[in-house]
Structure 1
Amino acid sequence: MTSEATITAFRRAEELVSRRRPLEALRTLEPVLDVDSDKPSVQLLLGRAYFFSSQLQRAENAFLRVLDFDPTDHYARLALGRTLQRQGRLAEARAQLRLAVTMHPDEPAYREALGEINTNIALRSS
């Protein structure tokens, strides 16, 4: 696959994920993964497609790969936190969301996600 074809496939997969068509995005990403599987942007998009298709363990693995490349990627921490939340692993989710908020404190969506986790944990413990 040429570099231009890889970029085109990646952009198409991004569009499909944004339109909530994750299974099509995963198919579109297959040739990209053959060439660029070690790029954080590819793993992040892969994780999002897995997340939206409810393949949560695969999403978790993709987000963890992104964090292996760059532990300071606050969006990957948010996505990992949301993935862990959907798996019912609230304490682990809270840890990731706390890190995301610490890294990017001006993002209201991060604070909102952390507040939601804290509320769920409080409700479970009462």
Structure 2
Amino acid sequence: MTTEGTVEAFRKAESLVAQRRPLEALQILEPVLDIASDKPSVQLLAGRAYLFSAQFQRAELAFLRVIELDPSDHYARLVLGRTLQRQGRLSEAQTQVRLAATMYPDPAYQEALGEINAHLAVANAHE
């Protein structure tokens, strides 16, 4: 695949993820992952597609790879937290979303953290 073809495939996959068509996006993204697995943007897009298709373990691995490549990526931490939350791993999710909200004090991040905190409070009340 040429550089131009890789960019085109990435953009097409990005569009499909935005349209909530993650399985199609992953098919198109597969050769891009083979070539550019060390690119945070490629891993982030793959992680989002995995998350949207409920492939939580794959999503987690992709988001962890983004954080390994770029520890300052607050969005990767947010979606990693959401992925962990979907797996019922609330304490781990809280840690990642808290970090994301600290790095990037956006109301949406605070809302996500509040949601996880509420789930944890309910879970702790039932123990």
Asked if TM exceeds 0.5, the reply is yes
Gapped regions of structure 1 (runs ≥ 5): none
Structure 1 counterpart of 2:43: 43
Structure 1 counterpart of 2:112: 113
**TM-score w.r.t. structure 1 length?**
0.98
| Deviation of 1:74 (Å) | 0.1
Runs of 4+ in 1 over 4 A off after TM superposition: none
Q: Distance in 1 between matches of 2:7 and 2:122?
A: 45
Structure 2 counterpart of 1:99: 99
Structure 1 counterpart of 2:87: 87
| Deviation of 1:58 (Å) | 0.3
Structure 2 counterpart of 1:73: 73
**TM-score w.r.t. structure 2 length?**
0.97
Structure 2 counterpart of 1:3: 3
2:2 alignment partner AA: T
**Which SS does the other structure have where 2:48 is aligned?**
helix
Q: Distance in 2 between matches of 1:32 and 1:123?
A: 42
Structure 2 counterpart of 1:122: 121
Gapped regions of structure 2 (runs ≥ 5): none
2:107 alignment partner AA: P
Q: Distance in 2 between matches of 1:85 and 1:33?
A: 26
Q: How many residue pairs get matched?
A: 125
